[in-house]
Homo-oligomer: A and B are copies of this chain.
């Protein structure tokens, strides 16, 4: 705050009303921590994957999701959902992955409106060789920061927040086969 006549953002007022406009110190700490995480964790993952595998985190996610399918194939719209992206973003990314020979697109025989993305052999090899280092990074940065109890706690919290972000979504986890 700049003067004492004006409220301090993200802090609680001296006399907290029922639905306080600002955040209490604890709430503020949670929010600043989350905001910082939102900004720095994706950058760290991108850095690791770019350095070690020439992939962005999002590109890796696309390849990984395809690699988990029995036929290494997924419709573009489904792939967009499971990778938490817009159809437009996915379309652009897959176009580049196709140029690099990691993925191929083909028309869906069952529905002419749909396009299937298929992981190529080169794409498979790319994920297979990138995965160990990436998983190790995820462990080091995130997973190993928690004990089993905390893993359960944060999972429950995630689900509650995600439900608020998209109330129409079925209960998380979204991904088939989890």
Contact = CB atoms under 8 A, between A and B. Distances in A.
Interface residues of A, number: 78
A35 B57 CA distance: 10
B161 A2 contact: no
Interface in A22-71: 22-23, 25-42, 44, 61, 64, 67-71
A145 to B, nearest CB: 4
Interface string A91-104: 00000000000000
Nearest to A85: B39
A158 to B, nearest CB: 3
Interface in A119-178: 124, 127-128, 131-132, 135-136, 138-146, 148, 150-166, 172-175, 178
B2 A175 contact: no
B145 A2 contact: no
A92 to B, nearest CB: 16
B145 A161 contact: yes
A84 interface: yes
A6 interface: yes
Contact of A41 (B38, B138, B152): B38
A128 B160 CA distance: 29
A178 B172 CA distance: 34
Nearest to A128: B6
A3 to B, nearest CB: 8
A38 B30 contact: no
Contact of A158 (B34, B124, B156): B34
Given A33-B162, A41-B165, A67 B2 contact: yes
